[in-house]
Structure 1
Amino acid sequence: MSVVPTRYRRTARDRVLVTPEGISVPVTVASRGSRLGALLLDFVVILTLMGLTTWGLIEIAGGVTGIDRNLEQKNALGHALQFLVIVWVIAMFLFRNAYFLFFELGPRGATPGKRVAGIRIAARDGGRLTAEMVIARNLLRDIELFLPVVFILQAGAESGMGWLAASGWLAIFLLMPLFNRDALRAGDMIAGTWVLERPRQKLEAAMSVERQAPVEVDAARPAPAGRQGYRFEEAELAVYGEYELQALERVLRDDRSESLESVYQTIAHKIGRSDGWNDERAFLEAYYTQLRARLEAGMRMGRRKADKFSGTPE
C-alpha cells in the first residue's frame, strides 16, 4: 500500500493498494466522520433489537406467571423464569458481538450502518478478508468501549478514580484514529484491516455501455504477431471475477510497462499459459475483452462472480 502522488489525489485519503497478484488498485480510506456515523447507526439498530427482545421476553414472563397459579408448581415457574433470563443474556451478547461478525463476514464486508455510510472493511495487504481478521477487530471493540464500564463497576459508581480510569481509557482508544493517517482503530491495527469507501459507481453501471468506454486496442499502434490469435477457454476465464476485471482495466488504462508485465506474469501463471511473452499488452487486452464478455453474459443470465474467491457465481 502506498500514498497516491499529490498531483493525482482527489483527497488526502487516496491510496494505492497493491494486491497479491501485483495489481495496483486505487482506494480511498473512509473518513473518520463516516466511520463514526456508521457506528452510531449500528448502535441504534442494536439498541432497537435489544429493546424489542427485552420487551418480548418480559411479555412471555408475564404470561407464564399469569397462567401458573398453582403454589405446588412454584419451582417449575422459577426454572422457567431463569431460562428466560439466560435467553436474555445470550441475546444481549449476540446483539453486541455477533451483529458485527455476521454482517462483516458477509460478501459486502459491511454492517447496515457502514452500507448507509458507503464504506466497508478490507484487508490492508490487498488479500482476502478472512474470518480471523473480522473476529479480531470486533473482539477488540469490547476492550476499547466496554472495559471502562468494568472499571466503574469495580471501583463503584461514586469512585472518582474509577471514572478517571474509565475516561482515560476511552480517551486513548477513541482518539487513536485521529493520530494515524489511515484512521485505524486498535482493532484494525491488530487485525490488519482498514475501512475504505465503496466505489461510487455500482459495478453493473461500471460494466455497462453507458459508463466510460472500455479499454480498446490502439489501432494506430503496430500490431505484434499473435495479437489477434489469443483465445481463452472457459476454465481459463472462470478463475477471475468482476473485481479482477476492474483492476485489469485500470492497469491497461495506466499502460505502465512494469505493471503490464507483472500482471501478465500473474495471470499467465494462474491459467497455465506462456504464449504472451513479449506481447503482454495484447495478451492482457484479449483476456480483458473475453473475460468482460463472459461476466456480462453471466449477469444477463442472473449469475455473478464477484471475485476469484467466489466458488460459484452469485
Structure 2
Amino acid sequence: MRDRQSAFIARRQRTVLTPEGLALPFIVGSRSARIGALILDYLILLVGTVAVTIAMAYIGLPLREMEGGDGAGEFLAVLWTIFWFIAWNGYFMAFELGPRGATPGKRIVGIRVAARPNAAGSAGRLTPEAVIARNLLRDIELFMPLILVLMAPSGAGGPAAMAATAWFLIFALFPFFNRDALRAGDLIAGTWVVEAPRTKLARALSVEGGAHGASEVTGATYRFGDEELSIYGEYELQTLERVLRDNQAEAMEAVHAAICRKIGWTPGAGDERAFLEAFYAQLRARLENDMRFGRRKADKFS
C-alpha cells in the first residue's frame, strides 16, 4: 500500500527552476483534491451568501412596512444584487491573488495555485492577470453549460440540453486527459495547482528565534544590515520559506550561495540552514515593519 502511494506521488512530482536558477520540487495537486476543494469553496460561498441574504431580509422586511420604506427596500435589493455578484465572481480571485495563492477550500485540502513552468522548466511568480484569466474561464467551463441545461425547455432531452451537457462534460473531464491535471482555465492562464501541505513553521523560522539565535553548528550569530536585506522582497521571502520547509540540503546550499553572492559575503560551508534561518527571520521582520508604514516590496525588482 505504501509503495503504491509513493509511486502515485512520484508520478505527480515535477522540478521547476525559479528565476534565481534554483531547482525546486513540486507535486501536482491530485484531481480528487481539486474536486474536494471546489466543493468546499462552493459550500462556503453558499452558506455565506445565504446568511447575508437572510440578514438583509431580516433588516429589509420591517423597513418596507414603514412609511416610505419602499425606497429603503429597493436600496437593499440593489445592495444584495451587487453583493451576490461580487461574492460569486470575486471569491476565487480575491483569495488566489493573496500571498498563499489558495482559497479556503484549497488550503483545507493542502493545494494552491502557482505559475506553470515553460518548456525550459522555469517558472516566474503568479501574476494577477493569470489568476483573473483562470477564474473568468470557470464561467465558460461550468456555469454557462449548467444554466443552459436548466433553462432547456425540454428538460434533460432536446438538442440544446444535450449540447450543453456535452459542453459541460468536455470541460469537466479535461483534467483527466493531461498529466498535470490542468483544467482549460489553467491551460490558457499558464497556471497549475500544486500541493502545499499545511505545515507549521518551525520555531527556528520565527522572527524571535531566527533573528538573534546562534548557530547550533558553529555558534555564529548572523546579523544583516538594511542594505543587505533590501535586495529581496515578499516573493523571495516566500521562496526562501519553501526551501526551509522542504529542508533539502542541495536546495539550501544553492540558495545560500546565491544570497551570499548577492550581498557580497564569502559563502562558507556546513552552516547553510542557520544562515538561511537568520536571513529569513530578519528579512521578514524588515518587510513586516515596512508594511506598517505603508511600504511594500513585492520582489527584488520593485
| Same fold? TM cut 0.5 | yes
Q: Which runs of 5+ in 1 are unaligned?
A: 1-6, 218-227, 277-281
In the other structure, the counterpart of 2:55 is 56
Aligned letter for 2:239?
Y
If the length of structure 1 is used for normalisation, what is the TM-score?
0.70
Deviation at 1:92, TM superposition (A): 1.5
Q: CA deviation at 1:296?
A: 4.2
Per the alignment, residue 4 of structure 1 pairs with none
TM score, norm. by length of structure 2: 0.72
| SS, match of residue 114 in structure 2 | strand
Equivalent position of 1:92 in the other structure? 84
Identity rate of aligned residues, in percent? 41
> In 2, distance between residues paired with 1:252 and 1:116?
25
Q: Which residue of 2 aligns with 1:290?
A: 275
- Equivalent position SS for 1:241: helix
Q: Is 1:82 the counterpart of 2:74 in the alignment?
A: yes
SS at match of 1:99: helix
Q: Which amino acid aligns with 1:88?
A: W
Any idea what SS the aligned residue of 1:143 has? Answer: helix
Query: How much does 1:180 deviate?
Result: 0.8
Counting matched residue pairs gives 270
Q: Could you tell me which residue of structure 2 aligns to residue 172 of structure 1?
A: 170
SS in 2 for 1:183: coil
How far does residue 287 in structure 1 lie from its aligned partner after superposition?
6.9
Corresponding position of 1:279 = none
Shift of 1:236: 2.2
* Residues 138-217 of structure 1 mapped to structure 2, 5 A cutoff: 138-152=135-149, 155-156=152-153, 158=155, 160-199=158-197, 201-204=199-202, 207=205
> Is the deviation greater in 56-65 or in 183-192?
56-65
Helix, strand or coil for the counterpart of 1:26? strand
Using a 3 Å threshold, how does the CA distance of structure 1 residues 97 and 43 change in structure 2: closer, same or farther? same
Secondary structure of residue in 1 paired with 2:16: strand
Alpha-carbon offset, residue 35 of structure 1:
0.9
* Counterparts of 2:245 and 2:21, CA distance in 1: 14
Q: Which has the larger radius of gyration?
A: 1
Structure 2 portions without partners, runs of 5+: 1-5, 118-122, 210-214, 291-296
Q: Deviations over 1:140-177 (max 9, x none)?
A: 11111111144346643546222212211110111001
Q: Counterpart of 1:203 in 2: which secondary structure?
A: coil
Structure 2 CA distance for aligned equivalents of residues 83 and 216 of structure 1: 66
Partner amino acid, structure 2, of 1:156? P
Contact kept in structure 2, 1:13 and 1:28, CA below 8 Å:
yes
